[in-house]
Amino acid sequence: MSDERSGRASDVTQREFVGGQRLFGRYTLIRILGRGGMGIVWLARDEELERDIALKFLPELIIRDPGVLSDLKRETRRSLELTHQNIVRIYDFVHDERSGCISMEYVDGETLARLRCDKPNKVFEPFDLSAWTSELCEALNYAHTRARIIHRDLKPANLMVNQRGELKISDFGIARSLGDSMSMLTREQGRSGTLVYMSPQQLAGERGSHLDDIYSMGASFYELLTSKPPFYSGNIDRQIQERIAPSMTERRKEFNIEPALVPALWEETIAACLAKDPARRPQSAAEIARQLQMPSPEARPPAMRSLQRLFQRKASRCYRSKISVAIQTMLISQTASRRKSSAGFLRSPI
């Protein structure tokens, strides 16, 4: 993902950090959670509020430029107000003269990008995604209509699932501003977002709209269901502008993914999200949920949701392997006792 980004990974904070280190007078670094194109994300302990948080370190170039830093803070101030259970909460900007980071809610889980790679054939099936889809639509709808903030970098790597199986959208409102700041500083052609999930309008550098997020959501789901985004090799820019992606069923056939068939409802809705003309896309995330006939999260029976999630979680692999170990142990002991009893039978005096 990093190299698809505008902004260079080499520009990330150069200062060396180690676990246990105390930073900015209140955070203790615990371990690295991951790396993105802009820098490293650490798990840390906020000693003042006694809670775990995630610290996303900003590129050094941004820290060194007070003007850009204050613009970034101003642009992202509104994302600090996003309060939704399915959106990763941004807490604060913290920095000194050498380094700086965005502190945010820690998600004890994995990204959908990562979870997809753990699936057989490296794809999800629509039923795996349904609970998360309705949470995503609800959160997007809240951000677009109530908070009036667009994400502009929606992608599987920014969709996380916590241990309780709840979906959390990360980097809301900050990915774009970070990308813009970096492209300004590096004078690279400015377009914030990740190429393969970008709408034709975003690619052309047009003013952002919530319909860019609708496109990116479509491109993300296309990838989650087929293992690749709609356009992934060759001249991607041009294909995003001009080509119609094959249906997901065609793509799955091409990759020998069984079952190849993706239900018509999903095909039609995702294809509509990927329309070149924003006016032809579903006009809101709520409309996507309606088209996919998603019940609202409240309408779903909690037990079913948690059960469904239990089997979707990466952790479920571990449960499943524990269960299969238990079953194997049972079978072995049954076989052993059968052998023993048959041996006993043979040995027993007649």
Instruction: Show which residues are catalytic.
Output: 153
**Among the listed residues 158, 181, 201, 226, the single contact to Mg ion using CB under 5 A:** 158
Q: Which is nearer to ligand ATP, 56 or 309 (CB)?
A: 56
- CA torsion sign for 148, 154, 158, 164 is positive
Sign of CA dihedral 146, 152, 156, 158: negative
Give the interface size with Mg ion as a residue count (CB under 5 A). 3
The binder of ligand ATP chosen from 11, 27, 37, 266 (CB under 6 A): 37
Residue 291, Cα to own-chain centre: how many angstroms? 22
**Please, which residue, 41 or 273, has the CB nearer to Mg ion?**
41
Residue of 17, 24, 34, 65 that binds ligand ATP (CB under 6 A): 34
Toward ligand ATP, which CB reaches closer, 30 or 260?
A: 30
**Residues 283, 83: Cα–Cα separation, whole Å:** 23
Minimum Å gap between C-beta 27 and ligand ATP is 14
Question: In sequence order, what are the beta bridge partners of 238?
Answer: none
Contact set for ligand ATP, span 178-237 (CB under 6 A): 194
| C-beta of 2 vs 284, nearer to ligand ATP | 2
Q: Does 90 bind ligand ATP (CB under 6 A)?
A: no
Axis-axis angle for helices 210-226, 264-273 (nearest 10): 140
- Candidates 12, 23, 41, 271: give the one binding ligand ATP (CB under 6 A): 41
Query: From the CB of 289, what's the least distance to ligand ATP, in Å?
Result: 24
Whether omega before 263 lies within 30 degrees of 0, making that bond cis, reads no
Q: Which of 11, 166, 171, 212 binds Mg ion (CB under 5 A)?
A: 171
Cα 244 from Cα 185, distance rounded (Å): 35
In the complex with ligand ATP, the residue whose CB is nearer, 170 or 312, is 170
Residue 88 interacts with ligand ATP (CB under 6 A): yes or no: yes
Taking contact as CB under 5 A, which single stretch among the options 171-179, 194-202, 320-328, 339-347 is the one that binds Mg ion? Answer: 171-179
Partner interacting with residue 54 (select from ligand ATP, Mg ion, none; CB below 5-8 Å by kind): ligand ATP
Q: Kindly state the smallest distance separating residue 272's Cβ from Mg ion, in Å.
A: 26
Is residue 2 within the footprint of ligand ATP (CB under 6 A)?
A: yes
Cβ closest to Mg ion, residue 171 vs residue 180: 171
Angle at 110 between CA 169 and CA 214, to 5 degrees: 30
3-state helix, strand, coil in the chain (%, to 5): 50, 15, 35
Stretch of 162-170, 177-185, 210-218, 219-227 lying at the interface with Mg ion (CB under 5 A)? 162-170
Task: Tell me phi and psi for residue 17, to 5 degrees.
Answer: -120, 155
Q: How far is the CB of 41 from ligand ATP (least distance, A)?
A: 4
Q: State the Cα–Cα distance between residues 214 and 40, nearest whole angstrom.
A: 28
User: Which residues ranging from 303 to 332 are in contact with ligand ATP (CB under 6 A)?
Assistant: none
Quick one: which of 24, 255, 231, 287 has its CA closest to 121? 255
| Position 245 contacts ligand ATP (CB under 6 A) | no
Paired strand residues for 52: 45
Residues 6+ apart with CB under 8 A from 297: 131, 134, 135, 138, 305
Ranges within 107-166 binding ligand ATP (CB under 6 A): 107, 111, 157-158
Task: Find the angle CA(128)-CA(132)-CA(134) to the nearest 5 degrees.
Answer: 115
Which of 204, 191, 198, 206 lies closest to 274, judged by CA?
198
Which residues in this chain contact Mg ion in the complex, by CB under 5 A? 158, 170-171
Which residues in this chain contact ligand ATP in the complex, by CB under 6 A? 1-2, 5, 33-38, 41, 54, 56, 88, 104-107, 111, 157-158, 170-171, 175, 194
